[in-house]
Amino acid sequence: MAARISSLVLLAAALFALAVAGADGEGSKKVIVAVGGLVSCQDCSTAGTWDLAGAKPLPGAKLSITCKDHRRRVVLYKAAAADDNGYVFAELYTTTMRGGYFDPVEACTARLLVSPEERCSVATDVNGGAQGAQLRYENTTLAGQFADIDVYVVGPLAFRPANCQPKTTQS
């Protein structure tokens, strides 16, 4: 867990450095929205529930992050793949906030797109993964002269195997 947090901080610092290097110098401040979350393969024993006991990380799983403005127009979109640990970190950039107000918790959702494993390819709605999971703000913002990096989290999200044996009840 500590390694994941330090990796997240290093990634955020790198994004900040890129944003500062790419700033246009005209006083416009960029907002970088970063989203992180875990994608797993749910065990057949818990399929049909929100229980992720026994779930295994799903490297290469893809999800999308979509943000809409107050008129429901898409203003940000990103598809991202999970790393070798099933962790997704995606950054979204914007300099134009239509309507002057943008709150990723209200405006953005993450959805499961595709699993790299045929054996575990059905998107579940655990934490809203199939329909659109709301982001949560974990009070992580890195402020800078030209950009602020706001880190949000989602999930955990999960795919499940397509063919799980039906559960039998014992009498």
User: What is the percentage of the chain residues whose pLDDT exceeds 90?
Assistant: 35
Count of C-beta atoms within a 10 Å radius of residue 46: 18
The closest alpha carbon to 120, from 82, 162, 80, belongs to 162
Q: Phi and psi of 9, rounded to 5°?
A: -65, -40
- Would you list the domain boundaries of the chain? 30-160
More confident residue, 29 or 63: 63
Class of domain 30-160: mainly beta
Long-range contacts of 13-17 (CB under 8 A, 24+ apart): 13/142, 15/91, 15/149, 16/142, 16/144, 16/147, 16/149
Q: How confident is the model at residue 31 (pLDDT cuts 50, 70, 90)?
A: low
Residue pLDDT, tens place only, 86-115: 999 888 765 444 455 667 888 899 999 999
